[in-house]
Structure 1
Amino acid sequence: METHKSLSPDPNPAAEDDDHPAARRIHRLALHLNPPQGLHSHGDLRMLACAAKGKQLDVSTQELTEYMRGKHRDVQERVYEYFNSRPDLQTPIEISKDEHRELCMRQLLGLVREAGIRPFRYVAEDPFKYFAIAEAVGSVDMSLGIKMGVQYSLWGGSVINLGTKKHRDKYFEGIDNLEYPGCFAMTELHHGSNVQGLQTTATFDPLTDEFVIDTPNDGAIKWWIGNAAVHGKFATVFAKLLLPTHDIKGIADMGVHAFIVPIRDLKTHKTLPGIEINDCGHKVGLNGVDNGALRFRSVRIPRDNLLNRFGDVSRDGKYTSSLPSINKRFAATLGELVGGRVGLGYSSVGVLKIAVTIAIRYSLLRQQFGPPKQPEVSILDYQSHQHKLMPMLASTYAFHFATLHLVEKYSEMKKSHDEQLVGDVHALSAGLKAYVTSFTAKSLSICREACGGHGYAAVNRFGSLRNDHDIFQTFEGDNTVLLQQVAGDLLKQYQQKFQGGTFAVTWNYLRESMNAYLSQPNPVTSRWESEDHLRDPKFQLDAFRYRTSRLLQSAAMRLRKHSKTLGSFGAWNRCLNHLLTLAESHIESVILEKFIEAIKRYILVSALEGGSFAIHKLTEYLSFQVRNIARELVDAFDLPDHVTRAPIGMQSTVEAYSQYTQYAGF
């Protein structure tokens, strides 16, 4: 009888906890083994009770749209309206690789020269506006979004971020107006993530005051270089800077630097001497981007073509830098290139918005089965469908606010150049890019499945969205590698915490409360008492942070233990899955924190907040709540039909099937 009694929610558990510590532990263990019946069994009765006491949810789509899209909504509308007015620039469903590449270039030229939208001017001055344009352009065609990113964020960004005034003065206007289409030649056939391992060389020749660019072996061929196969005239080439010396070695390696290398003649567009360009061919997706491979055979460039912000070579061959070591210069260089990673995370949320919008609108439109002798019900009325799509919708909102926070931090970093903030943005962008793009990739398949056979039709876009987005998990940093960077940064902060060091901005909660989280009992078991408590944002955030703190502590202990026998690399590899879980846990904590902050700024609905993050026992009811406002929530993304371009995902349910059947010739 006593055991049975302990399995029921205690009317006054706090009193029992104070008087009987042993009973408290048994009570909580029993809750783990057999959760309270009200949260697990008799689900229909539980849902009816919740529904009876719940208030009618109401969402102002217009106000929410204004809050979501912010001050750069106007420039996004200009992008949408321009392409809607130019049917000849809209990407058809079936198009060959070569045709798609040429169309992409015409689209970019039209955007810049006809619509008058100049993204390059905002890369450094107003990153918020640049990323807003990138999101809108990617919604039109993801290949176009990537091609724009290669031109302005990568090629253009490398010139203005790694170069100095002389480079900006010489190249800015040509990059801006597309007279100087260019490439970002970092990745090699044998080296991608390990940039310090690149093998391409740039050897200084003091006799001619030139650098000589060489590809020493096939593994050093620059690979997957966007804009290289067809349109590029310049490339920012990352190579080891080698200086001749008079000592026994004969040469000094100063580490990886960036160089501007012309690859085609500006007038004739012919490939320049010493440069071999080949086509990487048809890809899984993004075939509007002309990825190519570059080999250099003693290609000579002026000394001034070294992008010399962090390191320079004088006429007499002397190397100077404000940074004392190769590692410091390398870190500073990569820190200035983090904008591409920020943009990918932000753009991935844009892709997720499109997919979720199409899937939810169709799920509201499509009716199937139902009670006997009654009308069929919407497939979104099924609990299984809600379980697939409603947490995804809530996550889309959460990711929107988390990536907005990242862009804010990035913009602040670009203005202040604060060293601590640079490290902070580097780690946060790595984690969010990895987490969001992985989530979106999985969600695209779920959305396709949620739309049944009609989701398989190319016209409804899931195939192209899925294929084009898939590479987001790899470029600008492989997601598994990026999560390891996050874990490494957390461990560094953990060590500094207990050595009296300083903390980076992102990990404030560790600085302020790690001792509390490590000493308190698990908040999930110690505060199980009520549904209201489980849905309390502070409890949820405490639970997420407790998990991260525990994972961090246990990871540090395991690494210390295994390092004694396996060395640092072996210990890291032994604990790798643990470390990846730690990184994901931390990023989820950051996402939740930024979501809660956004909701506090704009009082939305408790259901949206809970839909993504509440304890599993409540997700069915919370998904049911969000389902009731699902149409309003996707409408607030403010994506016109000519942007989503999926007949089954149209705003008007009356026209959806008629538009769809037209594609089959009816």
Structure 2
Amino acid sequence: MASPISDDKKVRRRMQVLSLHLGANKVSPMSLIGSNICLSGEESELPEEDPVFNDRSNALFRMVAGKHRSIHEPILYYFRQHPELVNPVEMLKDEHRELTMRQLEAIVWEIGLRPLTLLSQDPAKYFALTEAVGHVDLSLGIKLGVQYSLWGGSVINLGTQKHRDKYFEHIENLEYRGCFAMTELHHGSNVQALQTTATFDKETDEFVINTPNEGATKWWIGNAAVHGQFATVFARLILPSSGSAGDTDMGVHAFIVPIRSLQTHAPLPGVEIRDCGFKVGLNGVDNGALRFHHVRIPRDNLLNRFGDVSKDGVYSSPLPTLNKRFAATLGELVGGRVGLAAGSVGVLKAAATIAIRYSLLRQQFGPPNKPEISILDYQSQQCRLLPMLASTYAFHFATDYLVDRYVEMKKTLDDEVIADVHALSAGLKAYVTAYTAKSLSICREACGGHGYAAVNRFGSLRNDHDIFQTFEGDNTVLLQQVSADLLKQFKKKFEGRALTVTWNYLRDSMGTYLSQTNPVVTHRDGEGHLRDPNFQLDAFRYRTARLLQTAAFRLRKLTKQHGSFEAWNLCLNHLLTLAESHIETVILEKFIHAVNRCDDKTAKSRLKLLCDLYALDRIWQDIGTYRNQDYVAPNKAKAIQRLVEHLCHEVRLVAKELVDAFGIPDFILRAPIGLKSRQYSEYSHIVGF
């Protein structure tokens, strides 16, 4: 069990909370951090000589890092002024957890940001906040997400006004620290099969929360092991029957369950709390396990937006079926996937910055009797790192679009937008986090032995980020959701219609499909043609459409032979490839759109270069598919390979400018080999020279 919070810490917390209630959170940024930084959301004025954001006149910087300066700058400057709150290279688990909590308190109590207000009123700024704190430490980003996106988000999105009135301010100011208790030891992604129960007791007007068996233990619950005082518990709502028919299971609902005393911080009666212990990464987050032994909570603690129970035990819902209620409940939690996709891009930006700056600095070999050359001048290093840099930019614009769609969804509640955000967030979260996980290892290897030094951060970034592939839904499960959505649209369009209609769909969805597959076009290999965004998009869409059509036909045939479940399983790899192809198409579409809307000539040429490299590298990586379908002739395939290598060379010439545009200051990046200057001297200083 966690030990109670010390008296001095409780006093400090109460003073800080009181100051927030009295409006003292609106502190002077000048007095707070020594710079004239505005916290109100307006553009801030910074000293021109300050090295942190001195690239802000650069158009690339404005497009990539400058969009949310009003959120990023106060956080980054605060941690510059408080190096004692920046993570050391070596730290014990318990120390890391306490430091992460102190960092979160500083963001709310000292910088004066209001994350839950941002989440509910301006989600784009909330996700910008999570990216900035993730650069400080990924554990801090996850800790913030647990408190506000998961615990706070579940209360405001699944509850009603009575819950907002009772909990909002307390969650906002960290007076009520909470958990999100969905995952169980025996069930993770299959939320509908959760086993924890919440049985209504009409006599006392209470729900009884119970863990019926070991497999129903809530597991990996962030904030539970040490700091959490409340939990949003997902449990099966059970209504006892007065007759002989037996109890009625109304499906999974969410309940607010206090787990620790607000006075002593001791676990409450009936609540067992255990520490999940040291993890591969993210050890600043106190993951715990929870069991409930007939814990009673008031009926009002049911988060009742989509389902309610009256005092008489009568269930009511604005949605007609259990499946619709379940879908609506999970749909409201999609913001977690949006945040993980955007946060993963932030990790990729940091890793790419470190690896590329070091590759520009490090010299190795060269022509006889001439100076050594930068290792980024070697084609092998370019083809290793620079398509990754292009992908980083591509993912940035794609997740920007996802955030915009999420904001639109929250404003309009439009069914079509909700469906789009659900599928897109699942796909982008899965695709981007998987790509980033692989790229972190590539960056480490590209920096040789120095990449293995803990101080250069690839190890911690890799370990901390790895779980992003599992958070908020396992990536394999999420990609299946994307494929299911595509197949659903396909079925709607072609149910009971002739096979020729399917081919018309393929033609229509690719625009110029018929002209693209004639022998003249399949052999075209000129640079102008290959760098034409119309060719690139047509190629991506063609691949997706063919995969969708063949998947639909295979499933139809196999379902007749084996049933729907076995048919899906037999086509699973096909379906995962379909989902990835679709997401890559969306990413390219948004990258091309970003290039077209850029109004600075130099920045636009840089973005076009990166966009072409992203598109052609992805085509080359799957060239077998295009060759097998006679979409690309042999001479054209060779031309694509040569052009990818040429584009890598062109990107190398502006690589420093491109990573600088990410706007990650040296004191936040911290890896000595990835700093803007004095890399070797800083690295030597680390070991005592």
TM-score (norm 1): 0.88
Q: Which runs of 5+ in 1 are unaligned?
A: 1-58, 502-508
Residues 304-453 of structure 1 mapped to structure 2, 5 A cutoff: 304-453=300-449
Asked if 2 retains the 8 angstrom alpha-carbon contact of 1:527 and 1:533, the reply is no
Question: Out of 602, 615, 632, which is 1:613 matched to?
Answer: 615
The CA deviation at 1:118 is 1.5
Query: Quick one: distance in 1 between partners of 2:161 and 2:506?
Result: 40
1:120 aligned partner? 116
2:668 aligned partner? 643
Asked if 1 retains the 8 angstrom alpha-carbon contact of 2:588 and 2:611, the reply is no
Name which of structure 1's ranges 81-90 and 481-490 shifts more when overlaid on structure 2: 81-90
What is the letter of the counterpart of residue 613 of structure 2?
Answer: G
1:19 aligned partner? none
1:35 aligned partner? none
1:50 aligned partner? none
Residues 185-224 of structure 1 mapped to structure 2, 5 A cutoff: 185-224=181-220
Question: Out of 90, 103, 111, which is 2:99 matched to?
Answer: 103
Asked if 2 retains the 8 angstrom alpha-carbon contact of 1:142 and 1:286, the reply is yes
Query: Quick one: distance in 1 between partners of 2:541 and 2:518?
Result: 10
2:508 aligned partner? 513
Q: Which runs of 5+ in 2 are unaligned?
A: 1-54, 498-503, 599-603, 621-640
What is the letter of the counterpart of residue 662 of structure 1?
Answer: H
Asked if 2 retains the 8 angstrom alpha-carbon contact of 1:202 and 1:241, the reply is yes
Describe the SS at the equivalent of 1:369.
coil
Q: 1:283 to 1:510 in 2, by over 3 A?
A: farther
Query: Quick one: distance in 1 between partners of 2:530 and 2:657?
Result: 26
Query: Quick one: distance in 2 between partners of 1:435 and 1:102?
Result: 33
1:259 aligned partner? 255
The CA deviation at 1:528 is 3.2
The CA deviation at 1:641 is 0.1
The CA deviation at 1:246 is 3.0
Cα displacement string for residues 6-26 of structure 1 (whole angstroms, at most 9, x for unaligned residues): xxxxxxxxxxxxxxxxxxxxx
The CA deviation at 1:522 is 3.7
Residues 517-556 of structure 1 mapped to structure 2, 5 A cutoff: 522=517, 526-529=521-524, 530-556=526-552
1:51 aligned partner? none
Cα displacement string for residues 123-144 of structure 1 (whole angstroms, at most 9, x for unaligned residues): 1110000000000000000000
Paired residues, what number? 599
Cα displacement string for residues 309-352 of structure 1 (whole angstroms, at most 9, x for unaligned residues): 00000000000000000000000001100000000000000000
Name which of structure 1's ranges 445-454 and 63-72 shifts more when overlaid on structure 2: 63-72
Asked if 1 retains the 8 angstrom alpha-carbon contact of 2:197 and 2:212, the reply is yes
The CA deviation at 1:84 is 1.1
Describe the SS at the equivalent of 2:257.
strand
Residues 30-41 of structure 1 mapped to structure 2, 5 A cutoff: none
2:134 aligned partner? 138
The CA deviation at 1:515 is 7.8
What is the letter of the counterpart of residue 88 of structure 1?
Answer: E
Describe the SS at the equivalent of 1:491.
helix
1:660 aligned partner? 683
What is the letter of the counterpart of residue 607 of structure 1?
Answer: L
Describe the SS at the equivalent of 1:493.
helix
Residues 71-110 of structure 1 mapped to structure 2, 5 A cutoff: 71-110=67-106
Query: Quick one: distance in 1 between partners of 2:506 and 2:231?
Result: 43
Cα displacement string for residues 59-104 of structure 1 (whole angstroms, at most 9, x for unaligned residues): 9971111122344212101110111111111111000000100111
Query: Quick one: distance in 1 between partners of 2:686 and 2:245?
Result: 69
Query: Quick one: distance in 2 between partners of 1:583 and 1:499?
Result: 21
Cα displacement string for residues 274-328 of structure 1 (whole angstroms, at most 9, x for unaligned residues): 0000000100000000000000000000000000000000000000000000000
Asked if 2 retains the 8 angstrom alpha-carbon contact of 1:650 and 1:656, the reply is yes
Query: Quick one: distance in 1 between partners of 2:405 and 2:488?
Result: 21
Answering whether residue 315 of structure 2 is matched by residue 292 of structure 1, we say: no
Query: Quick one: distance in 2 between partners of 1:322 and 1:167?
Result: 18
Query: Quick one: distance in 2 between partners of 1:172 and 1:662?
Result: 47
The CA deviation at 1:631 is 0.4
Cα displacement string for residues 211-238 of structure 1 (whole angstroms, at most 9, x for unaligned residues): 0000000000000000000000000000
Name which of structure 1's ranges 356-365 and 525-534 shifts more when overlaid on structure 2: 525-534
1:41 aligned partner? none
Residues 559-574 of structure 1 mapped to structure 2, 5 A cutoff: 559-574=555-570
Asked if 2 retains the 8 angstrom alpha-carbon contact of 1:234 and 1:263, the reply is yes
2:32 aligned partner? none
Query: Quick one: distance in 2 between partners of 1:388 and 1:608?
Result: 14
Describe the SS at the equivalent of 2:282.
coil
Residues 36-55 of structure 1 mapped to structure 2, 5 A cutoff: none
Describe the SS at the equivalent of 2:68.
helix
What is the letter of the counterpart of residue 246 of structure 1?
Answer: S
What is the letter of the counterpart of residue 230 of structure 1?
Answer: V
Q: 1:110 to 1:209 in 2, by over 3 A?
A: same
Query: Quick one: distance in 2 between partners of 1:298 and 1:492?
Result: 42
Asked if 1 retains the 8 angstrom alpha-carbon contact of 2:506 and 2:542, the reply is no
Query: Quick one: distance in 2 between partners of 1:521 and 1:540?
Result: 11
Describe the SS at the equivalent of 1:651.
coil
Asked if 2 retains the 8 angstrom alpha-carbon contact of 1:522 and 1:546, the reply is no
What is the letter of the counterpart of residue 663 of structure 2?
Answer: D
Residues 497-508 of structure 1 mapped to structure 2, 5 A cutoff: 497-499=493-495
The CA deviation at 1:519 is 5.9
Runs of 4+ in structure 1 off by over 4 angstroms are 509-512, 515-521
Q: 1:76 to 1:516 in 2, by over 3 A?
A: closer
Query: Quick one: distance in 2 between partners of 1:513 and 1:84?
Result: 54
Describe the SS at the equivalent of 2:563.
helix
What is the letter of the counterpart of residue 321 of structure 1?
Answer: S
Q: 1:524 to 1:137 in 2, by over 3 A?
A: farther
Asked if 2 retains the 8 angstrom alpha-carbon contact of 1:401 and 1:598, the reply is yes
The CA deviation at 1:526 is 3.0
Asked if 2 retains the 8 angstrom alpha-carbon contact of 1:122 and 1:129, the reply is yes
Asked if 2 retains the 8 angstrom alpha-carbon contact of 1:518 and 1:550, the reply is no
The CA deviation at 1:512 is 9.5
What is the letter of the counterpart of residue 641 of structure 1?
Answer: D
Describe the SS at the equivalent of 1:350.
helix
Query: Quick one: distance in 1 between partners of 2:490 and 2:484?
Result: 10
Cα displacement string for residues 572-627 of structure 1 (whole angstroms, at most 9, x for unaligned residues): 00000000000000000000000000011112333212111115312111100111
The CA deviation at 1:565 is 1.0
Query: Quick one: distance in 2 between partners of 1:528 and 1:219?
Result: 59
Cα displacement string for residues 556-583 of structure 1 (whole angstroms, at most 9, x for unaligned residues): 0000110011100000000000000000
What is the letter of the counterpart of residue 313 of structure 2?
Answer: G
Cα displacement string for residues 219-268 of structure 1 (whole angstroms, at most 9, x for unaligned residues): 00000000000000000000000001234332111110000000000011
Answering whether residue 591 of structure 2 is matched by residue 595 of structure 1, we say: yes
Asked if 1 retains the 8 angstrom alpha-carbon contact of 2:357 and 2:673, the reply is yes
What is the letter of the counterpart of residue 288 of structure 1?
Answer: G
2:451 aligned partner? 455
Asked if 2 retains the 8 angstrom alpha-carbon contact of 1:524 and 1:543, the reply is no
- What is the alpha-carbon root mean square deviation over aligned residues? 1.8
Describe the SS at the equivalent of 1:604.
helix
Asked if 2 retains the 8 angstrom alpha-carbon contact of 1:159 and 1:167, the reply is yes
Query: Quick one: distance in 1 between partners of 2:418 and 2:564?
Result: 26
Question: Out of 166, 171, 177, which is 1:175 matched to?
Answer: 171
Question: Out of 641, 653, 658, which is 1:633 matched to?
Answer: 658
Asked if 2 retains the 8 angstrom alpha-carbon contact of 1:128 and 1:411, the reply is yes
Describe the SS at the equivalent of 2:313.
coil
Question: Out of 241, 246, 249, which is 1:245 matched to?
Answer: 241
